[in-house]
A and B are shown apart, each in its own frame.
Chain A
Amino acid sequence: MQDVLSVVTSLVAGSIRVSIPIAFAALGGTLSERSGIINMGLEGTMLIGAFFGAVGAYYTGSAWLGLLTAMFAGALCGLLHGILTIRFKCEHVLAGVGINVLASGLTVVLLQMIWQTKGKSAEVASFSNITVPGINQVPFLKDILGQVSPLLILLALSVLGVWFLLYRTVFGLRARVIGENPEAAGSMGINVYRTQYICVILCGVLAAIGGAYMSIGDIHMFSRDMVSGRGFIALAVVIFGGWHPVGAWLGSLLFGLAQSLQYRLQTGSIPPQLIQMLPYVATLIVLVFARGGKRRAPAAEGRHYYAKGEQ
């Protein structure tokens, strides 16, 4: 009995841990899609975040400054996506694919420049877990949430923050109207472009934090293409999270579970390739079930809005 319990607690703790990067990215994706911009570049933005998190931590010796560097780089990715899709009406998917390929190439080139290798960075400063007072006294719960990464706390605050922004502020209301019908929003005098830019930049910042968690939160180095599809999984999480911030978090936890099961199964006799396939198959399966829900995508998602007088 004790054994089963310890397996369960470690599984839950593991799920929460591995869900963090996906959750940040899915949260960003939710925000951006609610304002009508599909950010297919989440994958690349996470990679940039992971890389610059490591770079910042390497040069300053502080994980927090590394995080700040990552957030700044993520904001730039978001801005780039915004300029491409909002100002220049690039197809959202192509802008995203471009950013992903760019991130994948650029990080390796910079890796070579800074650390003279194409594989992984040197060891850099990383976040250490903090003890949560109170919870670390409660039996069972203390094994799951007694010691947590500061980024998990940041994640909880971000979920709350995005929820508040979307549903409790005028800005959020406007963003949601734009996601449904930008022409109506424009004719009401809402600055469509400014709102979309803010959303897509915030999305970049959030995705980059998720990436940074992978390099300086979980381990203490960057390695080439380390995001390996989590950004794309996050896009799927946005869908079955019903375009809601809390849904995005819960969806990510489901993924976390699939992934930490994967780590647990790796010690068994099942071929590793089949286990590695698990998160991606799980995404497809979950998408099948998610369509039963009544939530739907923002109506104007992926569409270009032309302001008055603009061609």
Chain B
Amino acid sequence: MAKSGNSKQGGFAERLSKNNVFLSVVALVLSLIVAGLVMLIAGYSPLEGYSAMFKGAFGSVDNLAQTLGTATPLIFAGLAMAFAARGGMFNIGIEGQIIAGAFPAALVGAYAQGLPWFVHIPLCFLAGMVGGGLWAALAGFLKNKLRVSEVILTIMLNYVAIYLAEYLANYQFKAEGMLVRTENVLPSAVLTPLIPYSRLTGGIFVALFFAVLMWWFLSRTTAGYQIRAIEANPYAAQAGGINIQRMNLVTMFLSGALAGMGGAVEVMGVHGYFITNMTSGYGFDGVAIAVMGRYSPLGTVVSAFIFGALRAGSTSMNRMTNIPGEFIQVLQALVILFVSTPGIVRMFLKKRRQKKEAQN
């Protein structure tokens, strides 16, 4: 499949990041309005829904902790998508890479005995990075070999990862009991909650650190520059002596490594083991988050917090009203569509301005 990198106005990441934050905010508001309309049509009260959502996300310290804790893996997922996009690739396989990172992290957490926590926890993160990175690099390798779009490859590998992990958790590494899961990780590999019984752990600082690291890598290192050059114009990059195939592989590995850390943080901070279905759509959240953050590390972190709030809020919305939590998916889809079509947002703004002028 043809890459979009050679379209008229430069690569897609570049074009998106040129648009300002303002458009992202308007797109989010538009999405909330349209999703509210859908709620209304479906016979629910959007006001009730959104206020329940808001309370669920920010209503108390516990709620806030839940929001931040939910945002933690989402930051990793968003950074993974954003990083690949900055290198000119659509990594739609984040879900699979999270699993490919979570599984080895859970094994290292459960079976590497006698380590102090400050060795054990980084080791689990490392296992997650390697697992997720290799899974993504496999897609990169196949892309280079077959010249097939990475989109299809990463999606197929998602399904393979899901079933493979389910198989391993069901046979070789199954813990005692009814659940399809691995053994508990050892106490030395547990990220303890900062606020009791919440999902919020020190993992969030690791996530923020990696956001900074990604910014530094992309803007301050030669490899980062090369990756961005490929996205901006692959032909010029090649003419400039950059080995595109090798850099594609590096980009995919690092992108997958970020996703894999998201899996590791979930294992160590939330579940304490690998369990099937633990990723619950984080992959596509990552796409929405990165797009809304315009593929910049800072923007990605901010939108991961917003999506963390939406996710945490939608759980309590589902509990307090009877609005199905799947509304969050509708909202998420609208965010992707509105943010990636700045033209629609601009048209909307123009109409409003014209209306105002007509009133004056």
Given A108-B329, A281-B160, 20 further pairs, Cβ under 8 A: A87-B343, A91-B340, A93-B92, A98-B334, A98-B336, A101-B284, A101-B329, A104-B329, A105-B326, A105-B332, A105-B333, A106-B38, A108-B326, A109-B42, A271-B170, A273-B166, A273-B167, A284-B157, A288-B145, A303-B2
Chain B minimum-CB-distance residue to A44: B333
Q: How far is the CB of A81 from the nearest CB of chain B, in Å?
A: 10
Interface window among B6-14, B236-244, B350-358: B6-14
A234–B1 Cα distance when bound, in Å, is: 14
Chain B minimum-CB-distance residue to A228: B159
CB pairs A–B below 8 angstroms (7 shown): A87-B343, A93-B90, A109-B42, A113-B42, A281-B160, A300-B2, A303-B6
Q: When the two chains form their complex, are residues B163 and A277 in contact, meaning their CB atoms are under 8 A apart?
A: yes
Q: How many residues of A contact B (CB 8 A)?
A: 54
Chain B minimum-CB-distance residue to A92: B4
Chain B minimum-CB-distance residue to A113: B42
Interface window among B112-120, B148-156, B202-210: B148-156
Residues of the A chain whose Cβ atoms lie less than 8 Å from the Cβ of B151: 40, 93, 235
0 or 1 for each of A227-270: is its CB under 8 Å from B? (1 = yes): 00100110110010000000000000000000000000000000
| Pairs A-B, 10 closest by C-beta atoms | A105-B329, A102-B333, A273-B167, A101-B333, A98-B337, A88-B341, A280-B159, A88-B343, A98-B336, A277-B163
Q: When the two chains form their complex, are residues A98 and B167 in contact, meaning their CB atoms are under 8 A apart?
A: no
Give the size category of B's interface with A: 35 or more
Q: How far is the CB of B59 from the nearest CB of chain A, in Å?
A: 24
Is the C-beta of B287 less than 8 angstroms from some C-beta in chain A?
A: yes
Is the C-beta of B246 less than 8 angstroms from some C-beta in chain A?
A: no
Residues of the B chain whose Cβ atoms lie less than 8 Å from the Cβ of A280: 156-157, 159-160, 163
0 or 1 for each of B1-45: is its CB under 8 Å from A? (1 = yes): 111101110001000000000000000000000000010001100
Q: A113-B42, A232-B155, A303-B7 are in contact. Are A277 and B333 (CB under 8 A)?
A: no
Chain B minimum-CB-distance residue to A87: B343
Q: When the two chains form their complex, are residues B2 and A89 in contact, meaning their CB atoms are under 8 A apart?
A: no
Is the C-beta of A79 less than 8 angstroms from some C-beta in chain B?
A: no
Residues of the B chain whose Cβ atoms lie less than 8 Å from the Cβ of A239: 1, 148, 152
Q: When the two chains form their complex, are residues A304 and B332 in contact, meaning their CB atoms are under 8 A apart?
A: no
0 or 1 for each of A66-106: is its CB under 8 Å from B? (1 = yes): 00000000000000000010011111111101111110111
A239–B164 Cα distance when bound, in Å, is: 26
Residues of the A chain whose Cβ atoms lie less than 8 Å from the Cβ of B328: 105
Q: When the two chains form their complex, are residues B334 and A102 in contact, meaning their CB atoms are under 8 A apart?
A: yes
Q: When the two chains form their complex, are residues B155 and A98 in contact, meaning their CB atoms are under 8 A apart?
A: no
A299–B334 Cα distance when bound, in Å, is: 30
A53–B272 Cα distance when bound, in Å, is: 43
Q: How far is the CB of B125 from the nearest CB of chain A, in Å?
A: 27
Of the candidates B42, B163, B327, the one whose C-beta lies within 8 Å of that of A274 is B163
Is the C-beta of B171 less than 8 angstroms from some C-beta in chain A?
A: yes
Residues of the B chain whose Cβ atoms lie less than 8 Å from the Cβ of A64: none
* B interface, CB within 8 angstroms of A: 1-4, 6-8, 12, 38, 42-43, 90, 92, 142, 145-148, 151-153, 155-157, 159-160, 163-164, 166-167, 170-171, 284, 287-288, 291, 324, 326-334, 336-337, 340-341, 343-344
A94–B341 Cα distance when bound, in Å, is: 9
Instruction: Give chain A's interface secondary structure class.
Output: helix
Q: When the two chains form their complex, are residues A91 and B4 in contact, meaning their CB atoms are under 8 A apart?
A: yes
Residues of the B chain whose Cβ atoms lie less than 8 Å from the Cβ of A129: none
Residues of the A chain whose Cβ atoms lie less than 8 Å from the Cβ of B344: 88
Residues of the A chain whose Cβ atoms lie less than 8 Å from the Cβ of B287: 94, 97
A118–B323 Cα distance when bound, in Å, is: 12
Of the candidates A95, A229, A232, A284, the one whose C-beta lies within 8 Å of that of B142 is A284
Residues of the B chain whose Cβ atoms lie less than 8 Å from the Cβ of A105: 326-333
Instruction: Give chain B's interface secondary structure class.
Output: helix
Is the C-beta of A160 less than 8 angstroms from some C-beta in chain B?
A: no
A295–B153 Cα distance when bound, in Å, is: 19
A84–B90 Cα distance when bound, in Å, is: 18
Q: How far is the CB of A196 from the nearest CB of chain B, in Å?
A: 15
Residues of the B chain whose Cβ atoms lie less than 8 Å from the Cβ of A283: 152, 156
Is the C-beta of A297 less than 8 angstroms from some C-beta in chain B?
A: yes
Q: Which of B38, B157, B341 has the most CB of A within 10 A?
A: B341
Of the candidates B147, B156, B326, B336, the one whose C-beta lies within 8 Å of that of A97 is B336
A124–B152 Cα distance when bound, in Å, is: 33
Residues of the B chain whose Cβ atoms lie less than 8 Å from the Cβ of A99: 333, 337
Q: When the two chains form their complex, are residues A113 and B326 in contact, meaning their CB atoms are under 8 A apart?
A: no
A277–B159 Cα distance when bound, in Å, is: 7
Q: How far is the CB of B298 from the nearest CB of chain A, in Å?
A: 21
Q: A108-B324, A271-B170, A273-B170 are in contact. Are A284 and B147 (CB under 8 A)?
A: no
Q: How far is the CB of A15 from the nearest CB of chain B, in Å?
A: 20
Chain A minimum-CB-distance residue to B335: A98
Chain B minimum-CB-distance residue to A108: B326
A6–B203 Cα distance when bound, in Å, is: 58
Q: When the two chains form their complex, are residues B341 and A84 in contact, meaning their CB atoms are under 8 A apart?
A: yes
Q: A105-B333, A274-B167 are in contact. Are A229 and B284 (CB under 8 A)?
A: no
Q: A93-B90, A98-B337, A101-B332 are in contact. Are A271 and B2 (CB under 8 A)?
A: no
Is the C-beta of A112 less than 8 angstroms from some C-beta in chain B?
A: yes
Of the candidates B159, B163, B164, B336, the one whose C-beta lies within 8 Å of that of A94 is B336
Q: A105-B332, A287-B146, A303-B7 are in contact. Are A236 and B152 (CB under 8 A)?
A: yes
Q: Which of B2, B38, B287, B328 has the most CB of A within 10 A?
A: B2
Q: When the two chains form their complex, are residues A232 and B341 in contact, meaning their CB atoms are under 8 A apart?
A: no
Chain B minimum-CB-distance residue to A281: B160
Residues of the A chain whose Cβ atoms lie less than 8 Å from the Cβ of B160: 277, 280-281, 284
Residues of the A chain whose Cβ atoms lie less than 8 Å from the Cβ of B148: 236, 239, 287, 291
A91–B329 Cα distance when bound, in Å, is: 20
A76–B7 Cα distance when bound, in Å, is: 27
Chain A minimum-CB-distance residue to B146: A291
A304–B147 Cα distance when bound, in Å, is: 21
